Structure 1
Amino acid sequence: MNRTERLYALVEELRAISPRPRSATWLARRFEVSVRTVERDLDALRESGVAIRSDTGRNGGYSLDRERTLPPVTLTAREALAISVALRAASATPFADAARRAAQKVLAVLPADVRRREDALAARVHRVGPHPDLPVISGAVADTVEDAVVASRVLHLTYTDRAGAISERDVEPMGLLWGPHGWYLVAWCRWREGVRGFQLHRIAAAAPTGEPFRPREAEWAAELDRLDAEALR
């Protein structure tokens, strides 16, 4: 169990017996770590806003205030990503710190597998420049693209460009770009042999091929640097 999974499990353990407490020693045995590690984890949870209280004495320990915490939330990774992206959009506002804390609280109560998928997606979403209202994206296309980005699998796209020309091509998805003209899939185009951006609302169809590929991290980083530089001009 990694630390992220343990933090989630600690909250759920305390929630299950609330309002009764658990001692740090009991929790350390339960999660097979040291008492010091448990205490550091509980401090981290409290710093992130989880309502954990500690009481001293013979019957003391750590307890959770149910009324001030979220129960486990049933969200898909895509729904979780939608929340985290929306909250990150507040980074340029006076509410940036509050948005960051809110995102931590929501993500902390998600199942471990959903959190891992959201983490993988969030690492592949980049924001550039101002953002107007974005076009609605087909659910089927968005889901297929999301899966391919996370799993590093080749996609076969049917794409309509701005001139109305339709083409088909195989691409290696690198990430998702949120820019002033909407959402883009940034991918290595095997037809053009280079990095290309595909507006998601212009993707008529996206079919998984099941073929894995080695992520082009250098190209992805270079493309993000280029886009950020252009946005500052």
Structure 2
Amino acid sequence: MTTDTPARLLQLLSLLQTPREWPGGELAERLGVSRRTVRRDVDRLRELGYPVQASKGSDGGYRLVAGKAMPPLVLDDEEAVAIAVGLRAGAGHAVAGVEEASVRALAKLEQVLPSRLRHRVATLQTATTALTGGDGPGIAPETLTVMASAVAGREKLRFAYRSGDGEASRRLTEPYRLVSTGRRWYLVAYDLGREDWRTFRVDRVSEPFATGARFAPRELPTGSAAEFLRRSIRRQQETYEVTVEFEAPAEAVAARLRGWLGAPEPLDADRCRVRGATGDPLEWVAVRLALVGCEFSVRGPGRLAQYVRELGGRLTRAVE
């Protein structure tokens, strides 16, 4: 039970800043006080300028709505660390225009973080590395924001979608989770028109609109959005075993590929080999290998060698 009123108000504000409606009984249980005390605390927040909206009903619910000005955020230790780490990762992520904003926001946040939390952020960042780089297609930040809000608020989401073969459609979904693979973002959702679970590449989504209609979450067949996406991609894509030899030291190639296809194997001081499986289109693989910036030889598969040969011919003809 939180007996200190200022501390309790901060805890209440922290709960209300999550995008959902909180029943009065649940807030009372979380804070260890009576429902009457919750109502008084809500009134105090309103007096301080926080736009808390109440709904009628047997239990009554509260939520923080948009106001004329953004109130100060109240974060606990775990939330502050998570945001700081996320902002650091944002500089290299696949969201168009977010890199610079991430740096500015991170600078402001780390300035006010207690030293113990700054140490935790630095330790976590040092101990982790991204599996893939953020060199996938860009996404408008507002698109991702609308979709994330619909997921958090359990609101049906409508959007236009363009499939891989260019076919356009309109979808009405019950969004379940957003999943990032590093290069791309995906939405895992129940498609009401197809009456089945689907994955959607977010860079192919346009005109996302949260309808405001709530839904009761369904049980995902795999139990995990990440696992569902993994199986979906595996079904849709052919996997290729790629072997490439580079005329460059292993550490130089590793810095350019950043873990993609696996770690380079040194052949000698000036050469290395990369072997691994990928489900990426071979045309994209050919371009990605060329961007390493050194001489290389494709040892397999044969189709990749053909794409590299065609790419080289097009580039040569472009400057003739």
Q: Is the TM-score greater than 0.5?
A: no
Coarse TM-score class (shorter-chain normalised): 0.3 to 0.5
Structure in which a larger fraction of residues adopt helix:
1
Structure number with higher relative contact order (C-alpha < 8 Å, ≥ 6 residues apart): 1
TM-score with structure 1 setting the length? 0.44
